């Protein structure tokens, strides 16, 4: 869990989710936090704990997707010595570690059916039994669970216990994706940009240029706040001109003219869509749109030059004998500005 992260945002959808978490925090009841990756589910779990009467007790986190199925139950409930191969000594599980506090179960939808059954008993009776022991142990644990899965649909399909879902869904907090948080992208970008500039020792934070700011606001952000932070921090550290607004933003760090191509799969001769592309010479012989061919060639030159100079637009412009403004115009003309 990222302790340095903060709640940044002003949109109504985001503030409503935070307010719901604040109201549920004092209760002992379980809470489900639903949201896409990068929306801040861990932060909501921490808020639920810190604003509860358990704030000075342990907040124990377990990522259910990070462990093989054979070890999940041992991690959750502990085990006695000799319970299975490799169990040389007894070990307390996450429930015992969280006694008196909060247990945050991330990626809940990946739990096996066996682990779900044991979890249901722990939630219903407040008791756990270590693997290899028949003696139950009383625990006082508040459960907060998170997932990006559709748990009701999973329960209907028989992949998640409906009775466990009933017990865990006293309150369900669904976090909005960043694309639905109107006005929050500029606020978050400013926060992460200032923080990165300070880390780099810049004397002042120059902000973003208008095209860069517009590109940030126009992007869909499939990775949400986590992706935004990476994009902004990468843009600031690559910029290197602390006296000028940051004018280059690259959304895909893997974009490169030399990106390895996926291995070609065997083509079906009967499938015209899989027919091999004609050789360049054959294409040249059948060109009927000279202007279009020239435009395509110019775009290819720009992409290759940008790649050689790691998308540093000033160096790219110099290598091509262009001014910075001329390069920016050419990039915009070929739809490359949003990639930069």
State pLDDT tens for residues 54-64: 999 999 999 99
Q: Please state, in angstroms and rounded to a whole number, the distance separating the CA atoms of residues 162 and 166.
A: 6
More confident residue, 237 or 275: 237
DSSP assignment letter at 66: S
What confidence score (pLDDT) does residue 77 get? 87
Q: Measuring CA to CA, which residue among 169, 109, 161 is closest to residue 143?
A: 169
What confidence score (pLDDT) does residue 281 get? 41
| Helices of type H across the chain | 12-24, 41-50, 69-77, 94-97, 113-125, 151-156, 162-168, 184-199, 210-218, 224-239, 280-285, 290-308, 313-319, 324-333
Q: Does domain 182-259+288-339 have CATH number 1.10.8.60?
A: yes
pLDDT grade, residue 326 (50/70/90)?
confident
Give whole-number Cα distances, 37 to 151, 159, 332, in Å: 16, 21, 31
Q: Please state, in angstroms and rounded to a whole number, the distance separating the CA atoms of residues 2 and 301.
A: 42
What confidence score (pLDDT) does residue 17 get? 95
Give Cβ neighbours of residue 7 (< 8 Å, ≥ 6 apart): 18, 40, 43, 47
pLDDT grade, residue 271 (50/70/90)?
low
For 144, phi and psi rounded to 5 degrees? Answer: -125, 125
Q: How much is the average pLDDT of 162-182?
A: 96
Q: Does domain 12-176 have CATH number 1.10.10.60?
A: no
Number of H helices, E strands in the chain: 14, 7
Q: Please state, in angstroms and rounded to a whole number, the distance separating the CA atoms of residues 107 and 62.
A: 9
What confidence score (pLDDT) does residue 261 get? 78
State pLDDT tens for residues 118-133: 899 899 989 888 888 8
Q: Measuring CA to CA, which residue among 4, 6, 9 is closest to residue 180?
A: 9
**Domain residue ranges of the chain, discontinuous segments joined by +:** 12-176, 182-259+288-339
**Residue 131: strand pairing partners:** 79
Q: How much is the average pLDDT of 191-205?
A: 94
CA-CA-CA-CA torsion for 151, 156, 162, 165, nearest 10 degrees? Answer: 10
Q: Please state, in angstroms and rounded to a whole number, the distance separating the CA atoms of residues 334 and 212.
A: 17
Q: Please state, in angstroms and rounded to a whole number, the distance separating the CA atoms of residues 320 and 305.
A: 8
Q: What percent of the chain has pLDDT over 90?
A: 57
What confidence score (pLDDT) does residue 323 get? 85
pTM attached to this predicted model:
0.73
Q: How much is the average pLDDT of 96-106?
A: 95
């Amino acid at each position: 869990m990222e302790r340095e992260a903060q709640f940044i945002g002003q949109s109504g959808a985001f503030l409503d989710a935070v307010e719901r978490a604040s109201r549920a925090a004092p209760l002992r009841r379980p809470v489900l936090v639903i949201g896409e990756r990068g929306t801040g589910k861990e932060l909501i779990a921490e808020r639920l704990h810190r604003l509860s009467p358990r704030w000075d007790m342990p907040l124990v986190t377990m990522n259910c997707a990070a462990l093989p199925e054979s070890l999940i139950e041992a991690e959750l409930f502990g085990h006695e010595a000799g319970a299975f191969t490799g169990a040389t000594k007894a070990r307390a599980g996450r429930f015992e570690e969280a006694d008196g506090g909060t247990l945050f179960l991330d990626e809940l939808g990946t739990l096996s059916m066996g682990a779900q059954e044991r979890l249901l008993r722990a939630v219903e009776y407040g008791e756990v039994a270590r693997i290899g022991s028949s003696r139950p142990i009383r625990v006082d644990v508040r459960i907060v669970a998170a997932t990006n899965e559709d748990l009701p649909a999973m329960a209907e399909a028989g992949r998640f216990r409906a009775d466990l879902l009933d017990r865990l869904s006293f309150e369900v907090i669904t976090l909005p994706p960043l694309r639905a948080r109107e006005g929050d992208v500029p606020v978050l970008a400013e926060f992460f940009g200032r923080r990165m500039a300070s880390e780099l020792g810049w004397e002042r934070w120059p902000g973003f240029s208008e095209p860069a700011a517009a590109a940030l606001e126009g992007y869909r952000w499939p990775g949400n706040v986590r992706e935004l932070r990476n994009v902004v921090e990468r843009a600031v550290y690559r910029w290197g001109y602390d006296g000028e607004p940051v004018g280059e933003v690259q959304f895909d760090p893997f974009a490169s003219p030399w990106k390895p191509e996926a291995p070609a799969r065997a083509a079906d001769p009967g499938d015209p869509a899989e027919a091999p592309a004609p050789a360049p010479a054959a294409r040249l012989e059948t060109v009927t749109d000279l202007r279009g061919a020239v435009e395509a060639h110019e775009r290819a030159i720009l992409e290759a030059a940008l790649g050689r100079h790691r998308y540093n637009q000033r160096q790219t412009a110099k290598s091509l004998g262009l001014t910075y403004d001329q390069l920016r115009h050419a990039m915009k003309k070929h739809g490359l500005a949003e990639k930069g």
